[in-house]
Chain A
Amino acid sequence: MKKSSFSLVLLIAIQLVIPLVLAGCWDSVELNRRAIVSGVAIDRGEGEAEKYVLSFQVIVADEISGENTRGISPVALYTGKGHTMFEALANASRQTARFLSLGHIRVLVISEKVAQEGIKDMMDVLERESDTRLTSLMFISKGQQAREIMSTMTVFSKIPANDLVEKLDTTSKQFGYNYRMEVDDVIRGIQLRGGGPVINGVIIDGSREGADTNDNMKTIAPHAVIKVTELAAFKDDRLKGWLKGNTALGTALLHNKIKGYPAVIRYPGSGFIAFNVYQSQLEVRVKAADPEHPVFIVKISQQVSIKESPNSLDLTSPETLQNLSPLLIEDTATKIRAAIETAKKYKSDYIGFGQVMERKNPQGWKKVRDHWEDVFAACEFRIEADAVIRHTDIRSNSFQINP
């Protein structure tokens, strides 16, 4: 039986080989050898050799939900330096006892200095590396080191990076102009011709003293609070300036990313009235028959409710509401105008009017794309705003009306 002995040898050989495969994946890193990175801060170091200083906020899993916690900090910060981002990451491994796992980065904070020098070189690795993901949120730390943001204890979440994400979500629903900006949004922003991305700013409000220890939360008013702040406007990949107030709100409106914001208007003779703008729908159209002189028409319609009206206005009368609407419309138009004026001032179309133009008149766009910032700075804008006051919340007239 020559054949069966051959089969037997083959069978034994296969049985010796197969266990090698069963031993598991070549690349596997066990969970107890992993350290999950929740946030990364990117600072500018000294000179070329230490161009990037990366600080990794690493979750100490035992402290977050372990039975035997040691009462230490829930996250740890490790720093690596290098010419490039990847080198800096590898460099950090000299301090970390475990493999840094980049799959769960929630937040990327870039220092203002890096942003001023240009962020396009560092964006490449974020896009190319398959472990990192595009849904990480990006921030620019205004006037501070990015690593300071990553090393501040926060009250509501043990992990500061998560706390920052939650802060962004709440403010985008209530105060308005900050909205989610993820890695791919920034990349698409950099690619805008004659424009750039808009990125949320973040600062530490308060004193740095003891911000990175538990002492920060022992007082009722924390010493230092991470705070989402103004919008960083870019031209190409360089930081041009910071947008706040009306300008920032207008910019967010033009991006159609507003969920809700408080609008405050001065009513002649009755002080201030506050509205809650709970819905805004914006549309940009363009008349681009002459590509060198396009006319943009910004159409916006909003729905609002009255939140504060401490005066003697008769809110039971529809006429009063009709008289209030134009003031609100004017307020919205002012915001949008301010945003456009600022963009023109920076000569950067970070709002993306160029794309509207490209969709409308692709051939004309090709003629102007190379000097779009100049065309943009000179082109005409028309704003057609509309606002409806839907209701006055659960009171009609203020108690001040009949004392």
Chain B
Amino acid sequence: MGKVKIGLLQFFSITILFELGTSLVVNLGMAAGRDAWLSILIGSLAGLLMFSGYAYLYRKHPDLTFIGYTRKLLGKTAGTPVALLYIILYMNLSGRGLRDGSTMLAMASMHNTPLFILSMLMILSSSYVLHKGTEVLTRTSLVFTTIVLMIGLFSMILLILSGSINLQHLMPVLENGLWPVMDSVVHQNYMFPFGEMIVFTMLMPYLSDVRKGPWVIAAAMLVSALLLSATIALNISVLGADIAKRSQLPLMPTISKISISDFIQRVDIFVVMVLIIGVFFKMSVFFSAALIGISELFNLPYRRMLYPCTLIILFTSMLDARSFTEHLDEGGRLLYTVYPVFMIVIPVILIIITAVRSYFSAPRPG
């Protein structure tokens, strides 16, 4: 480990793309109705708190991945099964991301293409990049972050100019009090997409700067939280809370409302672009985390397990659910039942063990 180092800017951009990923186009946090933007902000605060825990673990073990220090802290017998579970989790999340992306692509523009073909093309491109290595993925993200942000800026300006934004759709704020918002946070927003930052514990040993690294990632989380919140607020203010809630990809109708003198129209293909880029990076980060984990756990070369994993992820995504509705329902339940165990409970145990150990080993005289 630790031969390849990845710069801070690259980490910043991959964090942004990972966070925006699918969440930018789906109706994130819409359980909170027109206060969805608020629930994302609160969710991101919870996410930052969780990330500070991961950052603590990283500072204490700067050269080890999550799997590395799990096995070190829990011991080989208890640590290995836990590490294995994490690899399964990452592959599963990658598959779920792939299913999200391919289905939404099919819904948005490619109505007659079989899901399998879409999924296969997406996962193949991802495995090609990972074949070149994680640092290639992060450098690619730098290019695509620029593209996504440019598209965002462009769409924002056009939406303002076409006069479709009606901020009154956002009023009244907190109509039913804070509870529905917190409910949405607890059920979704602290986990998706912010809790998923656990995956970065696998990548952080590559950070070129131990001291600044976690801060940069946290800053990227904050920036993406603001972007997400602004996007959701934009969707609601253009479409109204109800239409946004019922849309599978609310960004698409929002952007399609752009019409400048009947000349600049139908820019919604940008949303499809953002969707493909986002899904690609979300999926690839999980994928690479799983690969790093496997190569470390079983002492295999990184590339040997690439294509088997590709197949596993591809079939996970296909066999995951019969319909998209089922897929979303399943995901919704996983978010507050299974994922908290991996993203909060186990890391907290590790933090406690690390803290206790360093407390007892710290006062070393001399």
**Chain A residues in contact with chain B, CB under 8 A?**
21, 25-27, 103-104, 127, 130, 133-135, 165, 182, 184, 187-188, 191, 355, 358-360, 362
Q: How far is the CB of A17 from chain B (nearest CB, A)?
A: 10
- Bound Cα distance from A135 to B239, whole angstroms: 12
**Residue B117 contacts which of A26, A182, A191 (CB distance < 8 angstroms)?**
A26
Report A-chain residues with C-beta under 8 Å of the C-beta of B259: 135
The answer to whether B252 touches A25 (Cβ under 8 A) is: no
Q: Which of B168-176, B199-207, B213-221 contacts the other chain?
A: B168-176
- Bound Cα distance from A27 to B107, whole angstroms: 12
Instruction: Indicate whether B257 reaches chain A with its CB closer than 8 angstroms.
Output: yes
Instruction: Indicate whether B109 reaches chain A with its CB closer than 8 angstroms.
Output: yes
**Residue B253 contacts which of A21, A134, A355, A358 (CB distance < 8 angstroms)?**
A134
Given contacts A103-B266, A133-B266, A165-B262, contact A184 B257 (CB under 8 A): yes
Instruction: Indicate whether B129 reaches chain A with its CB closer than 8 angstroms.
Output: no
Q: How far is the CB of A164 from chain B (nearest CB, A)?
A: 13
The answer to whether B109 touches A27 (Cβ under 8 A) is: yes
Report A-chain residues with C-beta under 8 Å of the C-beta of B252: 130
The answer to whether A359 touches B171 (Cβ under 8 A) is: yes
**Chain B residues in contact with chain A, CB under 8 A?**
107-114, 117, 121, 168, 171-172, 175-176, 239-240, 242-243, 252-253, 256-257, 259, 262, 265-266, 268
Report B-chain residues with C-beta under 8 Å of the C-beta of A103: 266
The answer to whether B107 touches A362 (Cβ under 8 A) is: no
The answer to whether B112 touches A27 (Cβ under 8 A) is: yes
- Bound Cα distance from A30 to B113, whole angstroms: 16
With CB as the reference atom, state the residue of chain B lying closest to A356.
Answer: B168
- Bound Cα distance from A119 to B109, whole angstroms: 27
The answer to whether B257 touches A26 (Cβ under 8 A) is: no
With CB as the reference atom, state the residue of chain B lying closest to A162.
Answer: B262
Q: How far is the CB of A90 from chain B (nearest CB, A)?
A: 13
With CB as the reference atom, state the residue of chain A lying closest to B114.
Answer: A26
The answer to whether A188 touches B243 (Cβ under 8 A) is: yes
With CB as the reference atom, state the residue of chain B lying closest to A362.
Answer: B175
Report A-chain residues with C-beta under 8 Å of the C-beta of B265: 135
The answer to whether A362 touches B239 (Cβ under 8 A) is: no
With CB as the reference atom, state the residue of chain B lying closest to A166.
Answer: B262
Given contacts A21-B121, A165-B262, A359-B172, contact A184 B240 (CB under 8 A): yes
Q: How far is the CB of A150 from chain B (nearest CB, A)?
A: 19
The answer to whether B243 touches A187 (Cβ under 8 A) is: yes
Q: How far is the CB of B44 from chain A (nearest CB, A)?
A: 26
**Can you name 14 A-B pairs with beta carbons within 8 Å?**
A21-B121, A26-B113, A26-B117, A27-B113, A104-B266, A130-B107, A133-B266, A133-B268, A165-B262, A191-B240, A359-B168, A359-B171, A360-B172, A362-B175
Report B-chain residues with C-beta under 8 Å of the C-beta of A165: 262
- Bound Cα distance from A130 to B275, whole angstroms: 15
Interface hub of A25, A104, A133 (most chain B Cβ within 10 A): A133
Q: Which 6 A-B pairs have the closest CB atoms?
A: A26-B113, A362-B175, A359-B171, A27-B110, A133-B256, A359-B172
With CB as the reference atom, state the residue of chain A lying closest to B166.
Answer: A188
- Bound Cα distance from A360 to B168, whole angstroms: 12
With CB as the reference atom, state the residue of chain B lying closest to A191.
Answer: B242
With CB as the reference atom, state the residue of chain B lying closest to A14.
Answer: B124
Report B-chain residues with C-beta under 8 Å of the C-beta of A362: 172, 175-176
Q: How far is the CB of B275 from chain A (nearest CB, A)?
A: 13
The answer to whether B256 touches A135 (Cβ under 8 A) is: yes
The answer to whether A25 touches B172 (Cβ under 8 A) is: no
Report A-chain residues with C-beta under 8 Å of the C-beta of B175: 358, 362
The answer to whether B253 touches A188 (Cβ under 8 A) is: no
- Bound Cα distance from A184 to B243, whole angstroms: 8
The answer to whether A134 touches B172 (Cβ under 8 A) is: no
Q: How far is the CB of B57 from chain A (nearest CB, A)?
A: 40
